[in-house]
Structure 1
Amino acid sequence: MENFINGKWTKPQSGNYGNVSNPVTGKVFDKVPHSNLDDVNAVMDAAHEAFKKWKKVPVAERASLQHKGAQLMRDHADELGNLLANELGRPLDACIREITRSADLTDYYAEEGLRLKGEIPLHNIEGERVMVIREPIGVVVSITSFNYPIALLTMKLGAALIAGCTIVSKPSDETPLSTMRLAELFSQAGYPPGVFNVITGRGRDIGDAMVTHKYTSKIAFTGGTSTGQRIGALAAQLGKRFTLELGGQSPVIVCADANLDIAVPAIVKHTFANSGQFCYRVSRIYVHQDIYDEYVARMTEETKKLTIGNQFSGCDMGPIISQKIYKTSEEQTADAKAKGATITTGGERLKGAEFEKGWFFPPTIIADANHSMEIMREETFGPVAAIMKFKTNEEAIALANDSDYGLAAYVFTGELGTGLRIAEELEAGSVWVNNIQRSYHDVPFGGVKQSGVGREKGRYGIESYTELKTIYYSY
């Protein structure tokens, strides 16, 4: 594939390409550009020119186009899902669900954009009015991680487009193809050239240039904490807006009166979805001492039921995307074991003909954990979870908050008041009590501490792509 710039496929001025491989087989099945600074200038120029007209398009027309784009996502969900399954290795059904769910979010943003309003304060001064209006912020650079390429993009794309911004997307090197095809579909929906562009390349080659470019008004980033910190620092120096959705090390507290028939399946499902490769997965589990042994036994049993294989086999889990990401799971498991933890299931790379060409790490449970272990302090981004016992709810809250991260947290308890009190005490952008659902489209999503800056989804997400302007009008 080529870069998608100004409504057409465009060969990179660098002349260089990189491979896209199937993480199950290791087989190369496509190539994408390794762009350079000339390519960055070309795509930013296109987005800047398109913005001049796009910002003046009535919101109702933008919403109509956005609904058409969302419908095309549904119409091509099987195609996009297969692309995503091949480049990511996630089971096909889950990939198709990502596409349809992202289409729902795109539709939601279209409708929510129609409800944005300004205001006129009632100062009651004769011959004068003051108006507060919202204007689109400008050209948005979207930089996203490999793990949910379409979901993470549409969290930014749908908000930016309905607000009147144009967007330049740089997807991950590992999973760029689904994003590139999505841009083509939006062009088919009727979006003007230059409104939605995609450029691929290595971050070290073009990342800084995209962030600091004179036409960049906002950077919307989802990815690793260290990279996000660098982007935030560069953007702040130049007065550019940014939203950062960064790493997570999400805790769950299982109180003594928790219903384990609900807690165990919910935690297992959320911990090991997408082979553990997402930022708000359960990483560390604090269980009251009175039910600790039972909980460990039941979670281990439930985890052993998960199946691992290739993305088209109907399994529960596929491989980890790359050796680099895989390495963390292996190292953190070894660290915990060396410090006295017990591995109740998993813990070693899977072997055999089916697994030899991919980075397959089994769903792994680490019992008898403590905060000296890396698994309790650092992000894993893999199918490993650790369990630690606690005596009091106050102790559990302190342990859960003893982290540099604060993206999500979870509580299971039989007493509603206890659940609400713990939720209020936990330092996280989102807290689930007595179940774990996907994050809803109409409420904000984002983190505190080192887990990010700003919020996505809901009207909050759209507002972050606008600037407030105050107009003083005398007559």
Structure 2
Amino acid sequence: MQQTTMNYLWINGEKFDVPETIDVINPATGQVIDQVPNGGEKETKLAIDAAYRAFKPWAKLSPNRRASYLLAWADNLLENREKLARLLTEEQGKPLTESLDEIEGSAQFIKWYAEEGKRVYGDVIAGASENQRISVIKQPVGVCGLITPWNFPGAMVARKVAPALAAGCTVILKPAAETPRTAIAMFEQLMKTGLPDGAANLVTGRASVIGDTMFRDQRVRKISFKGSTQVGKQLMKRAADQVKRISLELGGNAPVIVFPDANIDLAAEAIVGNKFENCGQMCNGINIIFAHEEIREVLTEKIAALVNRLKVGIGTDNVQLGPLINESSLNNVERLLRDAKEKGARVLTGGKRIKSAAHMNGYFFAPTVVSDVTLDMKLTQEEIFGPVAPILSFREEQEVLEFTENSPYGLAAYFFTRDVNRVYRMAEQLDAGMIGINSTQLSVPQAPFGGIKESGMGREGGHYGLEEFLELKYISLTLENE
């Protein structure tokens, strides 16, 4: 087991340790590589205490001052990009090239919010009488609990912490138990900026205990969560007890629709790039490929050919695909494929675990393409979260529009066409919070990322993401008559 020096929490600007630990496992080897503190109710309360004390002083700082800490943090991340990326790959499994991009993207996201925090504007509104003066200002929500997932352990720290701090809030971060070391390492770089004590705190451990403590404490005014829809629903119920503000970025079932007039080569490359990024473990990743019947065969052949060239292995070994996160994820992918095959689907490539000597102990699954898929298969109804690309045939636009309307999810949808009329028609009617046209890349700092229906509420990114951490205050002044 590889030991590191990062086995600590961050509370009130100081390293904080506890005797009980949880294991961190490398999904490429199945081996325990480290332990991190198993923080509980006591440590979470201490973090809330620190964030609450720090809130008013931090909120009073000018946006420029707050921005200076964020910009320094981003610079520190870029300076340590290689080290952070290797750490991320070791505990999450994704290829090193993806981890490097993730750290780079995290820094860019932080820099963007450092500047956007300077542009929190209010309004002056005409009064209802000649003596009334109305203004609306925006103020930080307060102490925020941030809960991040394991699939993007670097990016999600940046996407939640940066806008919260830029808005003037203080935070307690709870990273995923599977990938806590990336968050700890990023916090170390944040603390090196001289950030005021208590403005940002980090507690690792079991989500049930830490989350429960944050939900019960009235001083925590907002919870921001990214994870499964099932857990998100439970958190919504908990938030109702105190009418606590909550943002949820949850599961998805994103379709991609390829029309016969599309650039088929472009579509195939973009689909494979999205579907197999992070081994298919992306909330906005493509879940179903709708190929128009006129081009279904050629598109399927191109996708299968590209997938057959993907190299699978340990993320530091110049590969395009790493492992799934754990055994449970492997079992889920196998369950969905088994159901599809029983209902008539054909596996064109992949379709099984990889058990060669180099992959024996990791959670590897061969990149898979499945044809003859129908909408009664679990593969099309549930989020796959794995390297499986199901291809369906369709004839009319209405078929795919009805699919998105009937789905409980509504995070993202993609389509490829050269028909400008269809561009607007489909973009306006597809029932999803984000639409990609002739591209499958959606995540950029300046745009709102998030979904509708059971895919969540609230947005990350853009000035919309900053609004999630701000409250409106209406001020009415009545002037005395002279």
TM-score category (smaller protein): over 0.9
* Equivalent pair of 2:24/2:35 in contact (CA under 8 Å): yes
* Equivalent pair of 2:436/2:442 in contact (CA under 8 Å): no
**Is 1:23 the counterpart of 2:17 in the alignment?**
no
**1:55-454 superposed matches below 5 A:** 55-123=59-127, 125-454=129-458
Give CA deviations for 1:431-473 in whole Å, capped at 9, x if unaligned.
Answer: 0111122422111110011100111111011011011111122
Q: Which runs of 5+ in 1 are unaligned?
A: none
Q: Which amino acid aligns with 1:429?
A: G
Q: Which amino acid aligns with 1:2?
A: Y
State the alpha-carbon separation in 2 of the partners of residues 171 and 259 from structure 1: 40
State the alpha-carbon separation in 1 of the partners of residues 371 and 87 from structure 2: 37
Three-state SS of the structure 1 residue aligned to 2:218 is coil
* Equivalent pair of 2:258/2:292 in contact (CA under 8 Å): yes
**Is 1:459 the counterpart of 2:463 in the alignment?**
yes
Q: Which runs of 5+ in 2 are unaligned?
A: 1-6
Q: Which runs of 4+ in 1 moved over 6 A?
A: none
Three-state SS of the structure 2 residue aligned to 1:307 is coil
Change (3 A) 1:421 1:210: same
* Equivalent pair of 1:250/1:283 in contact (CA under 8 Å): yes
Three-state SS of the structure 2 residue aligned to 1:55 is helix
Q: Which amino acid aligns with 1:306?
A: L
State the alpha-carbon separation in 2 of the partners of residues 365 and 455 from structure 1: 32
Give CA deviations for 1:162-188 in whole Å, capped at 9, x if unaligned.
Answer: 100001100000100111111121111
Q: Could you say which residue in structure 2 is the equivalent of 1:2? A: 8
State the alpha-carbon separation in 1 of the partners of residues 468 and 91 from structure 2: 31
TM-score, normalised on structure 2? 0.96
Q: Could you say which residue in structure 1 is the equivalent of 2:42? A: 38
State the alpha-carbon separation in 1 of the partners of residues 151 and 465 from structure 2: 21
Three-state SS of the structure 1 residue aligned to 2:271 is helix
State the alpha-carbon separation in 2 of the partners of residues 180 and 228 from structure 1: 24
In the TM superposition, residue 29 of structure 1 has moved relative to its aligned partner by 2.0
Give CA deviations for 1:123-151 in whole Å, capped at 9, x if unaligned.
Answer: 27444322211110001101011000121
Q: Which amino acid aligns with 2:12?
A: N
Three-state SS of the structure 2 residue aligned to 1:394 is helix
Give CA deviations for 1:400-436 in whole Å, capped at 9, x if unaligned.
Answer: 4331111000011121211221111111110011112
**Is 1:49 the counterpart of 2:53 in the alignment?**
yes
In the TM superposition, residue 375 of structure 1 has moved relative to its aligned partner by 0.6
In the TM superposition, residue 388 of structure 1 has moved relative to its aligned partner by 0.8
State the alpha-carbon separation in 2 of the partners of residues 405 and 269 from structure 1: 22
* Equivalent pair of 1:375/1:385 in contact (CA under 8 Å): no
State the alpha-carbon separation in 2 of the partners of residues 203 and 86 from structure 1: 22
Three-state SS of the structure 1 residue aligned to 2:161 is helix
Q: Which moved more, 1:203-212 or 1:421-430?
A: 203-212
In the TM superposition, residue 113 of structure 1 has moved relative to its aligned partner by 1.2
In the TM superposition, residue 268 of structure 1 has moved relative to its aligned partner by 0.5
Three-state SS of the structure 2 residue aligned to 1:332 is helix
State the alpha-carbon separation in 2 of the partners of residues 124 and 426 from structure 1: 41
State the alpha-carbon separation in 1 of the partners of residues 404 and 132 from structure 2: 53
State the alpha-carbon separation in 1 of the partners of residues 31 and 331 from structure 2: 20
* Equivalent pair of 2:218/2:242 in contact (CA under 8 Å): no
In the TM superposition, residue 42 of structure 1 has moved relative to its aligned partner by 0.9
- CA-based RMSD: 1.2
Q: 1:11 aligns with which of 7, 14, 17?
A: 17
Three-state SS of the structure 2 residue aligned to 1:441 is coil
State the alpha-carbon separation in 1 of the partners of residues 417 and 86 from structure 2: 40
Percent of counterpart pairs with the same letter? 39
Q: Which moved more, 1:277-286 or 1:394-403?
A: 394-403
Three-state SS of the structure 1 residue aligned to 2:107 is helix
Q: Which amino acid aligns with 1:175?
A: T
Q: 2:476 aligns with which of 453, 472, 475?
A: 472
Three-state SS of the structure 2 residue aligned to 1:155 is helix
In the TM superposition, residue 27 of structure 1 has moved relative to its aligned partner by 2.4
* Equivalent pair of 2:143/2:171 in contact (CA under 8 Å): yes
* Equivalent pair of 1:212/1:235 in contact (CA under 8 Å): no
Three-state SS of the structure 2 residue aligned to 1:121 is strand
In the TM superposition, residue 283 of structure 1 has moved relative to its aligned partner by 0.7
Q: Which amino acid aligns with 1:296?
A: T
Give CA deviations for 1:360-384 in whole Å, capped at 9, x if unaligned.
Answer: 0111111111111111000111111
In the TM superposition, residue 355 of structure 1 has moved relative to its aligned partner by 0.7
* Equivalent pair of 1:69/1:185 in contact (CA under 8 Å): yes
Q: Which amino acid aligns with 1:239?
A: V
* Equivalent pair of 1:157/1:167 in contact (CA under 8 Å): yes
Q: Which amino acid aligns with 1:10?
A: F
TM-score, normalised on structure 1? 0.97
* Equivalent pair of 1:420/1:433 in contact (CA under 8 Å): no
